[in-house]
A and B are shown apart, each in its own frame.
Chain A
């Protein structure tokens, strides 16, 4: 019994210490005198690696999820003679939930794992140490550009996901199943609210972007610099980030749409 309490206590302390380290890392990376001339090219490069290279998987997934939504939605709605509402159903599911959440999960798997592995390997090959010895702060040089690239690119990816998804729903609903094209778009326009739906979805994706990128960078930065350690850190990034997204999604949904 005592041992159990001890181990629970130790785990709580360890995770608190982990959060502390993660906060310290983030603060060290983003607080400080801005040096746009040096950091801008690094940021652009990471935008390409983290954002542009994730576009393919996000767009293809968005298209298929939108098409499935169109198909599923139609078969349910047509029973009630409500297939005119297919547009808002697809748009609201994507903008409010699936866009930010699925993009977040894909982003954690595609970009998050890559960030963790890259930084873990930089640590294992002493590149981070050698930056420090060259009087270059690895937090500012390595962590910061990756962090900002993640935070900026993921919400954009989520918007692309939703846009392509809506188009996929339109292709299936209107092009294939015969929902009236005018009704599809006009009912959608009147049902989707700028602030409640679009803005809240964007806020969600920004929160997820922040959390996923932070977790990925921290897991890499604190990884045990061996092959087993880096592999464990990469797995842990995907698991932790995915769970964090799903948990936070519930909390955010409750705050935004619950009351």
Chain B
């Protein structure tokens, strides 16, 4: 099976803070791959690297056979037309209605006549259950609806690849279930390839074909959801079961607590 996305020996640092050190990861075409890990390990950064918004310090990022960090601007923009990203906040344009938001990529990148744009937009909105909300402005939507509207916009151009940034974070159980089902069914019916970055273990493992666990700047575990559940490594067990302390420390690293208290300064 061919891989749509291949990351190899990736290193990346935000200033002096090293985020990735030798990270490698493959995403097969047509599959849904979950990338899990504790907060703050740069999962969003990973998506931005894949989308070419950030450049790695070294290593290779291949999307559809193209080396993303080396692409010229125009080639990068061509490639981006084939991928979509669902931002955690939805990132809907606040000065446009839901309808206009979904129509936006179509108007920017196609010359379709207005009637066809209308049909496409209504189809996409129907798929996420928001056809009735097309006239609302983003400020009138609930968090879950905003994310679904953003999802409709993300699939407007029928991309090959969708990058989901924490799609389940901060959702109530019902809208969480709706989004889980939606992402799964879109992936199957449109033949998409998806990368879902999330720390909602139960939800993401219920729909992913394959999953990676990232911690400590690299991949610490990978496999199908079942393989991961049976994995005995301490760090993966801690993460999947949600134990507060373990290899991933609860405490932000500092000196010994007693020494710190006795020192008596800030």
Contact = CB atoms under 8 A, between A and B. Distances in A.
B109 A125 contact: no
A133 B94 contact: no
B94 A130 contact: no
Given A127-B93, A127-B94, A133 B77 contact: no
B6 to A, nearest CB: 20
Given A134-B105, A135-B109, A136-B108, A125 B53 contact: no
Interface in B72-126: 77-78, 80-81, 83-85, 87-89, 91-94, 104-105, 108-109
A217 to B, nearest CB: 17
B241 to A, nearest CB: 32
Contacts of B37: none
A125 to B, nearest CB: 6
B51 interface: yes
A129 B87 contact: yes
Contacts of A127: 91-94
A130 B85 contact: yes
Contact of A129 (B81, B91, B104, B109): B91
Nearest to A141: B108
Contacts of A129: 48, 53, 87, 91
A181 interface: no
B91 A126 contact: yes
Interface string A136-156: 110000000000000000000
B87 A126 contact: yes
A196 interface: no
Contact of B83 (A130, A133, A137): A133
Contacts of B87: 126, 129-130
A254 B250 CA distance: 64
Nearest to B78: A135
Contacts of A122: 94
Interface in A87-135: 122, 125-127, 129-130, 132-135
A122 B96 CA distance: 13
Contacts of A135: 77-78, 80-81, 108-109
Contact of B91 (A130, A136, A137): A130
Contact of A125 (B48, B91, B104, B108): B91
Nearest to B92: A127
Residue among A38, A135, A136 with the most chain B CB within 10 A? Answer: A135
A126 to B, nearest CB: 4
B93 A133 contact: no
Given A132-B53, A133-B53, A134-B104, A126 B89 contact: yes
Contacts of B109: 135
A136 B153 CA distance: 14
Contacts of B53: 129, 132-133
A157 B108 CA distance: 33
Contacts of A136: 105, 108
B93 A134 contact: no
A39 B48 CA distance: 28
B89 A133 contact: no
A129 B86 CA distance: 11
A133 B108 contact: no
Nearest to A38: B108
A133 B81 contact: no
A58 B109 CA distance: 40
Nearest to A132: B53
Given A125-B89, A126-B89, A129-B87, A134 B80 contact: yes
Residue among B85, B87, B91, B108 with the most chain A CB within 10 A? Answer: B91
B161 to A, nearest CB: 11
B98 to A, nearest CB: 15
Contacts of B88: 126
Contacts of B104: 134
Nearest to B86: A130
Residue among A129, A130, A132 with the most chain B CB within 10 A? Answer: A130
22 contacts: A38-B108, A122-B94, A125-B89, A126-B87, A126-B89, A126-B91, A127-B92, A127-B94, A129-B48, A129-B53, A129-B87, A130-B85, A130-B87, A130-B91, A133-B84, A133-B85, A134-B80, A134-B105, A135-B108, A136-B105, A136-B108, A137-B77
User: Ordered nearest first, which 6 A-B pairs have the shortest CB separation?
Assistant: A130-B91, A126-B91, A135-B80, A135-B77, A133-B85, A126-B87
Interface of B: 48, 51, 53, 77-78, 80-81, 83-85, 87-89, 91-94, 104-105, 108-109
Given A126-B87, A132-B51, 5 more contacts: A126-B89, A130-B85, A133-B51, A133-B83, A136-B108
